[in-house]
């Protein structure tokens, strides 16, 4: 009997020892695995950061803040507007100044830079004055009562929502489908109200001026909401204004530079839409990388905590 009990006790002791050894070796293996994963993740993060930093540094070194294409677009726009003004039979210097400020604001807006909104406020005031001189009261009211105030709100909104703390780039939004329906209904209501106001003031070319209300409202709305579709709305508005000011130029050639200005605006707005789509894709990719990195870090912490708990249980079993 005694021999059997001794053998049983010896077997139990051996089993406990084996269990303890297995637990410790498992914990050591898990800890080693976690350490390896953490080291690998740290290496990947460093490589990504170095890659992003390197790409940005290289781009800045080559082109500065504006890319070569953006610089060419701005220079060509300025030259075309200036040449049109030089060949205009009647010189309207206010139109020239407004056009140059306007085209400069667009290149900054295309970069998502709040400076563009500040310049838009100045342009809106000057454009309102020019519109008044030709009895385009619709344009005057639109820019002074709607575009300028909305540009102030957009400036505040952009400054409040920089991308990753960068003051020279706004965080772009992808709007849900229902908001586009809401914007369309709102634009229809605003257009209906403005139609009666414009008719009361006997606005020249009433039909085109009314259409301009719709496109202008959508443009300022999407700008405030930080959507890439602001540029498409502005492009549509440019087409309407090209028609309006072509009609004005037929009566007074001094407004030729304004027509050319809106052709330049159209080119800049098309570029703005393309660039904002690229910026949105880049911001989404970077956000995705950060989400994956955060998820990996969370999983590593969970594994590490699980390893600690397993090690604690193994130690308790060994002592008992």
Per-residue pLDDT of the chain (320 residues; tens, 9 = 90+): 544 455 545 445 444 444 444 444 444 444 444 455 554 455 555 544 444 444 444 444 455 889 999 999 999 999 999 998 888 877 788 988 999 999 999 999 999 999 999 999 999 999 999 888 877 787 888 889 989 999 999 999 999 999 988 889 999 999 999 999 999 999 999 999 999 988 998 888 889 989 999 999 999 999 999 999 999 999 999 999 999 989 988 888 877 878 888 999 999 999 999 999 999 999 999 877 776 666 677 666 766 666 666 666 665 555 55
The CA distance from 93 to 228, in Å, is: 33
The CA distance from 7 to 266, in Å, is: 94
Helix (H), strand (E), coil (C) string for 74-114: HHHHHHHHHHHHHHCCCCCHHHHHHHHHHHHHHHHHHCCCC
Position 291 scores a pLDDT of: 61
> What is the phi-psi region of residue 227: left when phi exceeds 0, alpha when psi lies from -120 to 50, beta otherwise?
beta
The CA distance from 258 to 85, in Å, is: 9
Position 149 scores a pLDDT of: 94
Position 51 scores a pLDDT of: 47
Position 310 scores a pLDDT of: 65
Helix (H, G, I), strand (E, B) or coil at 167: strand
The CA distance from 72 to 195, in Å, is: 39
Q: Is 42 within 8 Å of 293 (Cβ atoms)?
A: no
Position 20 scores a pLDDT of: 45
- Those residues with Cβ within 8 angstroms of residue 167's Cβ, 6 or more apart along the chain or in another chain: 114, 159
Q: Name the nearest CA neighbour of 242 among 76, 84, 114, 126.
A: 84
Write the pLDDT tens digit of every residue in 281-299. Answer: 999 998 777 766 666 776 6
Output DSSP code: residue 196.
H
The CA distance from 233 to 215, in Å, is: 6
Position 68 scores a pLDDT of: 93
Position 32 scores a pLDDT of: 46
């Amino acid at each position: 009997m005694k021999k059997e009990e001794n053998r049983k006790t010896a077997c139990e002791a051996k089993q406990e020892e084996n269990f303890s050894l297995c637990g410790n070796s498992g914990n050591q293996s898990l800890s080693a695995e976690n350490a390896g994963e953490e080291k690998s993740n740290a290496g990947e993060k460093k490589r990504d950061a170095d890659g992003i930093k390197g790409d940005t540094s290289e781009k800045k070194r080559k082109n500065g803040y504006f890319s070569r294409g953006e610089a060419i677009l701005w220079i060509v726009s300025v030259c075309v507007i200036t040449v049109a003004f030089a060949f205009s039979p009647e010189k309207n210097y206010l139109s020239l100044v407004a056009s140059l400020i306007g085209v400069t604001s667009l290149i900054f807006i295309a970069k998502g830079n709040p400076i563009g909104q500040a310049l838009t406020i100045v342009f809106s005031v000057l454009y309102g004055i020019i519109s008044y001189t030709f009895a385009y009261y619709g344009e005057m009211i639109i820019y002074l009562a709607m575009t300028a105030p909305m540009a102030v709100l957009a400036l505040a909104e952009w400054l409040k929502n920089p991308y990753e703390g960068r003051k020279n780039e706004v965080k772009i939004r992808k709007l849900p489908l229902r908001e586009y329906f809401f914007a369309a209904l709102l634009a229809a209501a605003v257009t209906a109200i403005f139609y009666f106001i414009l008719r009361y003031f006997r606005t020249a070319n009433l039909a085109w001026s009314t259409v301009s209300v719709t496109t202008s409202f959508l443009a300022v709305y999407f700008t405030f909401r930080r959507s890439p579709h602001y540029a498409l709305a502005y492009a549509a508005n440019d087409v309407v204004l090209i028609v309006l000011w072509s009609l004005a130029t037929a009566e007074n050639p001094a407004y030729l530079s304004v027509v050319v200005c809106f052709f330049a605006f159209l080119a800049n707005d098309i570029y703005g839409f393309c660039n904002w789509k690229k910026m949105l894709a880049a911001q989404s990719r970077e956000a995705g990388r950060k989400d994956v990195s955060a998820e990996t870090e969370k999983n590593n912490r969970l594994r590490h905590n699980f390893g600690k708990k397993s090690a604690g249980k193994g130690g308790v079993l060994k002592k008992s």
